[in-house]
């Protein structure tokens, strides 16, 4: 293991790519007429609840129009990972009005007609994988406008670490948007980020990197709160240093009153981590929703395996496939520095290759190169001489990197990209065919909020790998702790789940594939009837078939988590859109997405949310389905607010696993420095012949 850790520490410098300058801000409202001065952000209030396996994020903003005439304004923010926008509220005459979801063209037409008639209206649309856009009109001269958005997203615990990101940085990959967004992102009066974590499982500590003024406290058993708040022009929120807030914070600590030197700006992601206590048992957890008298319920099933996955120790080749396109400007210098330090630390006997790509792909080495001081010096000099520019031919980079793989050696490939393929072959099918020809598993380092997550995730899923998302605000070691031992241990392949005794349907994901050490299996689905079910998990470990079983009860009624219906619908929509990305758009697939979006009130690539006066909804005969759903969800959230976090474990009587869930330390403290030793084990493309 010592040699393994020496090889791991060799790549620590690579992670310096996280420490890039702040990207252009998002979450801004400005006039559609770009010649007018930007609107002022009077307040930006964020309330987040992490509970029962999913997050509810509410963002409320008030903007002031300093111009002498009424105008239309556009508000944009990055698409959070796997987030489903469920509420858009616009205050009209001091009264909040909730939006309804229509097919995208119909929603835009209704908004434009209401706007042209001088009526108050709002529209929320999804612009691909990059951002949500909210339009409101009219914003009265010298007046303010108030809007609220709520989005839902699933949570997961990976190797004992949970992570939530409130995204504010633009990814820098949409040049047209960058040319437009020149607004002032500074909050004038009040900023608040208020996050509450409710966990029935013991939490060891929580953390917010690079936010020394975050006030973190434990509110009670299993309840934690992180609060960042500033009034007026007082400095707040983000620093460019490595300071952070870590709980528990003793009374009188300098962290409690620290004031960073920058004013409140919406230009840096806010990242929150929580770590479970080590040594916890593996578990099966069930959250269900089924309204009284309804024949069908919705469930969220989370399996945290405790399978005994043994470590693997073999020699390695290292392949670096690096994006040097124009969208990597501002990121490349630290990337090159990290690669240089990594090369200097590789073990004698290791080999490496360096492949770069922008409009074309090039190899900086001549095939596999033995690690020596001279070869690493020459390679580092070539890296430093590169200036990122031009388009992104991701296909060419992968194609060149996948050549010359040696079946007799384990190969670790570090692919670093924002995934915005815009040159050469860009279709998902092209990439999938390429991976199939090389019989390989792909692990991807996804950079920034503007990254093409759909493409990169489809590739990793198809090859049974995994994708790692990173924010510039992530903790270097803390973020990557989640998967630090994945590629150094056996994995569970060909995973299947079977439920008998209770009828289930519409499970998503439909195909599970591979589970790596520390990963959870999370499924959403529908169930009919109630009572005890037998659940069987099957997998292959090192080629040998394994099986685990348990029994538990699906409830006849459950009303505390109605949001599960939207989460299921959104997961199903994501699968449909993956099929569209792989095979092309068809009328059936498009209509299926539209039907789910309108039934469950979700903003998608084909549906949008429109707000207008109540009487205008009635005049247009638009059914208020989303308004009714919002009422049910708000009532449930209010009930949950007054309750502790209940245990969702259902396999106590018959545990599915007899080993503890994986963790990295036997102590209670967060030893982030030690974790950095295993960072490079997070990345790799492993030959299937040599995989566990």
Lowest mean pLDDT among 329-333, 355-359, 418-422, 642-646: 329-333
Residue bearing tokens 């807030």: 245
**Averaged pLDDT for residues 199-222:** 89
Peptide bond into 248 cis (omega under 30): yes
Asked if the model's pLDDT at residue 250 lies above 50, the reply is: no
- Phi, psi torsion values for 650, nearest 5 degrees: -125, 5
> How would residue 312 be classed by pLDDT, with cut points 50, 70 and 90?
low
Backbone φ and ψ for 674, nearest 5 degrees, come out as: -60, -35
Residue 624: band (very low, low, confident or very high) from pLDDT cuts 50, 70, 90: very high
pLDDT at 19 over 80: no
**Cα separation, 547 vs 493, whole angstroms:** 12
Q: Which of 216, 265, 201 lies closest to 238 in space, CA to CA?
A: 265
CB 429 within 8 A of CB 459: no
Q: Check whether 174 has a pLDDT greater than 50.
A: no
Handedness of CA 131, 137, 143, 149 (dihedral sign): negative
The dihedral region occupied by 404, where left means phi > 0, alpha psi between -120 and 50, and beta the remainder, is left
Residue 485: its H or E element: none
Other residues' Cβ atoms within 10 Å of the Cβ of residue 313: 10
Between 462 and 488, whose confidence is greater?
462
- Partners of residue 660 on adjacent β-strands: 281
Whether the pLDDT of residue 549 is over 80: the answer is yes
Q: How confident is the model at residue 334 (pLDDT cuts 50, 70, 90)?
A: low
Residue 383 three-state SS: helix
What is the reported pLDDT for 673? 32
Q: Specify the DSSP element, H or E, that contains 354.
A: strand 351-357
Which residue segments constitute the domains of the chain, with CATH numbers given?
Answer: 2-18+315-489 (3.40.50.410), 28-276 (2.60.40)
pLDDT at 36 over 80: no
The pLDDT of residue 433 is above 90: no
Asked if the model's pLDDT at residue 478 lies above 50, the reply is no
pLDDT (0 to 100) of residue 329: 76
Query: Given pLDDT bands bounded at 50, 70 and 90, which one contains residue 43?
Result: confident
pLDDT of residue 202: 92
Per the CB < 8 A criterion, the answer to whether 593 and 604 are in contact is yes
Say yes or no to pLDDT of 410 above 90: no
Per the document, the length of the chain is: 692
> 435-441 long-range contacts, Cβ below 8 Å, gap at least 24?
435/459, 435/462, 435/463, 438/402, 438/405, 439/687, 439/688, 439/689, 440/402, 440/405, 440/685, 440/686, 440/687, 440/688, 441/465, 441/685, 441/686, 441/688, 441/691
For 482-519, the pLDDT digits (tens) are 444 566 678 899 999 999 999 999 999 988 988 988 88
Quick check: pTM over 0.75?
yes
Query: Is the separation of the CB atoms in 216 and 224 below 8 Å?
Result: yes
User: What pLDDT does residue 101 have?
Assistant: 98
Average pLDDT (20-49) is: 68
Q: Which of 260-264, 371-375, 441-445 has the lowest mean pLDDT?
A: 260-264
The mean pLDDT of 456-480, rounded to a whole number, is 65
Confidence band for 681, pLDDT divided at 50, 70 and 90: very low
Distance CA 167, CA 471 (A): 8
Residue 449: pLDDT band with limits 50, 70, 90: low
pLDDT at 536: 98
Q: What is the mean pLDDT of the chain?
A: 80
Selected residue with higher pLDDT from 484 and 624: 624
Please tell me the least confidently modeled range out of 239-243, 393-397, 542-546, 667-671.
Answer: 667-671
What's phi and psi for 301, nearest 5 deg? -110, 125
With 90 as the cut, is the pLDDT of residue 57 above it?
yes
Distance CA 300, CA 562 (A): 11
Contact 463, 441 (CB under 8 A): yes
**H-helix or E-strand spanning residue 95:** strand 95-98
Query: Tokens 């936010």 appear where?
Result: 211
| pLDDT of 675 | 35
Q: Do the beta carbons of residue 296 and residue 526 sit within 8 Å?
A: yes
Q: What is the mean pLDDT of residues 72-97?
A: 88
CB-based contacts of 13, cutoff 8 Å, min separation 6: 337, 338, 339, 340, 341, 342, 345
**3-state secondary structure at position 255:** helix
Of 51 and 471, the structure prediction assigns the larger pLDDT to 51
**Nearest CA-CA partner of 15 in 363, 339, 494:** 339
pLDDT at position 633: 97
Q: Does the pLDDT of residue 71 top 60, yes or no?
A: yes
pLDDT score for 487:
63
Distances (CA, A) of 465 to 160, 229, 242, 439, 685: 20, 40, 31, 12, 8
DSSP track, 56-67 = EEEEEEEEE--S
Confidence (pLDDT) at 136: 92
Question: Average pLDDT, stretch 451-477?
Answer: 70
Pick from 2-16, 63-77, 464-478, 621-635: least confident: 2-16
Question: What integer is the mean pLDDT of 646-663?
Answer: 93
Kindly give, in sequence order, each residue whose CB lies less than 8 Å from that of residue 4, ignoring residues fewer than 6 positions away: 313, 488
* 531: pLDDT strictly greater than 90: yes
* Residue 426 pLDDT grade (very low, low, confident, very high; cuts 50, 70, 90): confident
* CA nearest neighbour of 523 among 571, 582, 570, 485: 571
What number is the average pLDDT over the span 295-309? 93
């Amino acid at each position: 293991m010592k040699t393994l850790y020496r090889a791991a520490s060799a790549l620590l410098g690579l992670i310096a790519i996280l420490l890039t300058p702040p990207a252009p801000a998002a979450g801004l409202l400005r006039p559609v007429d770009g010649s007018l001065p930007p609107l002022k952000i009077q307040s930006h209030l964020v309330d987040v609840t992490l509970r029962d396996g999913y997050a509810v994020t509410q963002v409320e903003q008030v903007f002031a129009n300093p111009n002498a005439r009424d105008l239309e304004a556009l508000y944009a923010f990055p698409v959070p990972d796997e987030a489903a926008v469920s509420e858009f509220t616009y205050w009209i005459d001091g009264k909040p009005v909730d939006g309804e979801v229509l097919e995208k063209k119909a929603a835009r037409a209704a908004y434009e007609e209401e706007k042209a008639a001088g009526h108050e209206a709002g529209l929320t649309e999804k612009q691909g994988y990059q951002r949500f856009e909210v339009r409101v009109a009219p914003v009265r001269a010298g007046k303010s406008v108030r809007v609220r958005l709520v989005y839902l997203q699933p949570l997961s615990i990976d190797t004992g670490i949970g992570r939530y990101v409130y995204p504010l940085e633009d990814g820098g990959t949409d040049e047209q948007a960058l040319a437009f967004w020149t607004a002032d992102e500074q909050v004038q009066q009040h900023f608040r980020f208020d996050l509450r974590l409710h966990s029935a499982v013991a939490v060891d500590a929580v953390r917010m990197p690079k936010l020394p003024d975050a006030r973190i406290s434990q509110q009670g058993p299993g309840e934690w709160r992180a609060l960042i708040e500033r009034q007026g022009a007082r400095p707040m929120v983000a620093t460019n240093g490595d300071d952070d807030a870590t709980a528990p914070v003793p009374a009188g600590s300098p962290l409690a009153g620290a004031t960073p030197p920058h004013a409140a700006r919406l230009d840096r992601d806010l990242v929150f981590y929580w770590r479970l206590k080590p040594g916890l048992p593996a578990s099966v957890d069930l959250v269900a929703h089924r309204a009284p008298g309804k024949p069908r319920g919705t469930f969220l099933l989370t399996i945290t395996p405790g399978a005994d996955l043994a470590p693997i120790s073999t020699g390695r080749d290292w392949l670096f496939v690096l994006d040097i396109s124009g969208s990597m400007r501002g990121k490349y210098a630290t990337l090159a520095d990290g690669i240089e330090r990594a090369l200097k630390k590789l073990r004698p006997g290791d080999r490496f290759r360096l492949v770069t790509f922008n409009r074309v792909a090039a190899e900086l080495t001549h095939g596999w190169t033995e690690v020596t001081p001279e070869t690493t010096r020459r390679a580092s000099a070539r890296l430093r001489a590169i200036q990122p520019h031009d388009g992104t031919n991701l296909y060419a980079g992968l194609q060149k990197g996948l050549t010359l793989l040696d079946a007799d050696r384990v190969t670790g490939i570090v692919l670093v990209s924002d995934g915005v393929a815009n040159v050469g072959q860009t279709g998902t099918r092209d990439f999938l065919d390429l991976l199939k020809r090389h019989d390989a598993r792909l692990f991807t380092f996804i950079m920034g909020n503007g990254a093409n997550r759909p493409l990169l995730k489809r590739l990793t899923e198809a090859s049974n790998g995994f994708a790692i998302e990173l924010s510039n605000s992530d903790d270097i070691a803390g973020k990557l702790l989640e998967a630090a031992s994945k590629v150094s241990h056996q994995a569970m392949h060909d995973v299947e789940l079977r439920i008998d005794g209770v009828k289930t349907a519409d499970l998503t994901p439909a195909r599970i594939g591979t589970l790596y050490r520390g990963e959870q299996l999370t499924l959403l689905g529908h169930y009919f009837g109630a009572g005890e079910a037998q659940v069987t998990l099957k997998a292959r470990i090192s080629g040998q078939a394994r099986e685990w079983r348990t029994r538990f009860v699906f409830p006849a009624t459950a009303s505390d988590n109605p949001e599960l219906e939207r989460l299921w619908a959104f997961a199903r929509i994501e699968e449909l859109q993956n099929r569209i990305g792989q095979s092309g758009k068809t009328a059936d697939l498009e209509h299926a997405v539209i039907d789910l979006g309108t039934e469950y009130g979700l903003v998608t690539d084909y549906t949008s949310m429109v707000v207008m006066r109540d009487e205008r909804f009635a005049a247009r005969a638009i059914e208020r389905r989303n308004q009714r759903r919002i009422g049910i969800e708000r009532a449930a959230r209010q009930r949950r607010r007054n309750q502790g976090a209940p245990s969702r474990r259902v396999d106590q009587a018959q545990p599915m696993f007899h080993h503890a869930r994986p963790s990295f330390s036997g102590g209670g403290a967060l030893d982030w420095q030690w974790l950095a030793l295993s960072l490079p084990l997070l990345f790799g493309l492993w030959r299937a012949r040599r995989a566990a």
